[in-house]
Amino acid sequence: MARLIVWAWAFLVSLILILYVGAPVWFFNDASSTIAGMPPMLFWFVLLPFVVPGLIAALYFYDQRAMRKLARRREKGPNR
């Protein structure tokens, strides 16, 4: 269970890195159109600071729930 949580956090870090570095190059490297009056890449970098804390919070709540479940399992002991 603990390994799963560590892998989930590592995955989230790599996902955030891809969102900041890869997604703008692949999807928003077009200066001809506008989104909400901004170039697409600027819109993306304005949007990300609002999206990333939500992703971190979702994983944090999952982490807390999994750790409580793990603590209950440890309290019961290995023989029960």
Dump pLDDT digits (tens) for 22-70.
988 888 887 778 888 888 888 899 999 999 999 999 999 999 998 898 8
- Tell me if 70 sits within 8 A of 1, measured CB to CB: yes
Is it the case that residue 80 has pLDDT exceeding 70? no
Instruction: Compute the distance between CA of residue 80 and CA of residue 75 in angstroms, rounded to an integer.
Output: 10
**CB-based contacts of 67, cutoff 8 Å, min separation 6:** 5
> Considering the entire predicted model, what is its pTM?
0.75
- pLDDT of amino acid 14: 95
pLDDT category, 7, cuts 50, 70, 90?
A: very high
* More reliable by pLDDT, 17 or 28: 17
